[in-house]
Structure 1
Amino acid sequence: MTATGTTSLTGLLAELVVTTPEAPLAFDVVGDEIRTCTRARFGERVEAVRAELADAGIEPGQCIAVMLPNWSDALVWQFAASALGAHIIGVNTRYNTGEVAHILVAARPAVVAVAASFHGLDLIGTLRAAAHSVPEVAAPAVAVVTGPAAPVTPVDPAGFDLGDGAWLVGSGDTRGTRVPRTPH
C-alpha cells in the first residue's frame, strides 16, 4: 500500500479526480446493464449531495442514516457526509419497523436518505411507522434517492415527508427543509 499526504475522504477523492478523472470509480447494475461512474462524475455527485445537506442544515457531528441498497449512491453519501464533518449509519433495507426505530433512538439521525423504490419494498412505510413509534425522537428530514435507474414515474418527495421536510436528491432544491437539532 502506498501512503499519501491525503488526510480526508474528500482530499482523497479530489486527488483521484485530478489524477485520472475518466477512470471508473463505481459501478451500478440496472437490469442487465452495468453503468460506470467515473471519478469526475462521482466527485460531481458528492458535491451535489454535500451542497444539499449543507443547505438543509447538517452540522459537524450529526448523524445521517442511509437506507439504500448497494448503489453507488450509498458511497456518495459517505463522502458527502464526511465533507461536512457528519457521519453515516447504514440502515439495511430489510430491517423491520422495530429495528429502524432502534436506529432512530440510538443514532438520532438528522436526515435519512431513503430509496424511492427498491424491489417493491415499502421503505418509507417502514421508516414512517418507526418514526411514529418513537414520538420522543425528532423526526428526521428525508432525502429521496431515485438510484441508478431513472424512475418510471416522477417521484414527489412530499409523500416521503415525516414532518421535517423531504427533498429529491440531485434536484438542488431541498424545498426549505431544515434538519432537526440532534445530539452530536
Structure 2
Amino acid sequence: MKSLIALAATTALTLAVPAIASAQALSPTTFYGTLGYANANIDDVNLGAVQGRLGARFGQYVGVEGELAAGVKEDSVNVAGTSVDVKLQHQAAIYGVGYLPLSPQADLFARVGYGNSKIKASAAGTSAADDGDSWNYGVGGQYFLDDKNGVRVDYTRHDFKDSSENADVWAVGYTRKF
C-alpha cells in the first residue's frame, strides 16, 4: 500500500511539472477551505478529529495547503492489564499538492508534507502527553456540486520521525472555493 501511494503521489507531481514551466498554467490562483472529519488509526488505537484546511491552487495542477485538526473521539487500549485512554490533542501540517483534473467538477490529487501531532494518554488518575513530527503523504479526490461547493475524500499516511509508529488517516469533508 505504501508503494502504491508513493507511486500515485510521484505520478501526480510528475504530471504537474510541465504545468509549473508555463506561467499560464499557474493562473488563475484560487483559494479554498475544507471542514470535515478524520479517522486516524495508530496501531490498535482508533482516534477521531475535526479537521480544517486552507489552501491555494495555482492554475490546474499545483497548490499548497495547511491543515489543523482537534481530537473529538478517544479510544481505550489495554497496556499490561491497565486501561489507557488515548486522545489526539491537536495536529498541524503543511502540504504541497499535485492535481489531476478529470472534469471541470472532479479532481484527483496527491499531497506530500510535514506535520506535528500531539497525543495525550490517561490511566489510573495520571496522564502524559507527547508530540511527534511526521512526513505525510497521501491521495484523494474531490467533486464540486456547483462553482463553489464540493465534497472531498482522502487518505494520508503519517510516518513519524524518531519512532516506528505510523498513522493511517482517512478524511471526508465539505470544501468551498473562495
TM-score normalised to the size of structure 1? Answer: 0.26
Higher strand share: 2
TM-score normalised to the size of structure 2? Answer: 0.27
Higher helix share: 1
